[in-house]
Amino acid sequence: MDTYRAIVSKREVRAFAEREVPGEVVARILQAGRMAGSAKNAQPLRFIVMREREGREALAACGGFAMHVPAAAFAVAIVLVPEPFRDDGGFTIFRGPFDAGRAAQNMMLAAWSEGVASCPASMHDAECARLVLGLPEGHLVANVIAFGYAAEGAERGIGGRPRMPLEEMVHEERW
């Protein structure tokens, strides 16, 4: 699919069909995430691919709006490792999630361009997510992305969530 078309047509889908996503598509999605840039190429991200439903059910309890994660075909937990932040004082929390958002968008667009839908889930209880995934201390789950083919009617049902007009969103030169 053309890049711009994939970007502007992408919708968050939270209802998935019971159908597996082929391994080679999963591999391309992960590769897309890997190729996202990171500040100073620190590469602060790791991915946990969750194909088994059990782990995804445990994880769904760690987020306020993560009920769509168990029924996905698979999920990718994006983990921030602590090392790259150490030389950067107060920017710990700030830069890692930005890089995680870049990788997440790469993965979701690569998926969408092959007909695979997705929706991120915030882990509001970070410690819960850390324990479920067995992460060492200091590691943080930036987000969990649920992937799968959309359930029949799911895309139509959601439609596009409204966006504020571009004129309202964009300032010229200064605020």
Could you tell me the two tokens for 6?
Answer: 């994939």
Rg (C-alpha) for the chain, rounded Å, is: 17
Nearest approach, Cβ of residue 22 and its own copies (Å): 14
Nearest approach, Cβ of residue 173 and its own copies (Å): 6
Q: Which is nearer to its own copies, 6 or 151 (CB)?
A: 6
Nearest approach, Cβ of residue 20 and its own copies (Å): 16
**Amino acid letter at 41?**
N
Instruction: Classify residue 142 by its DSSP letter.
Output: E
Query: Cβ neighbours of residue 46 under 8 Å, at least 6 residues apart?
Result: 78, 79, 81
Q: Which is nearer to its own copies, 6 or 128 (CB)?
A: 6
Q: Which is nearer to its own copies, 153 or 162 (CB)?
A: 162
Cα 100 from Cα 79, distance rounded (Å):
8
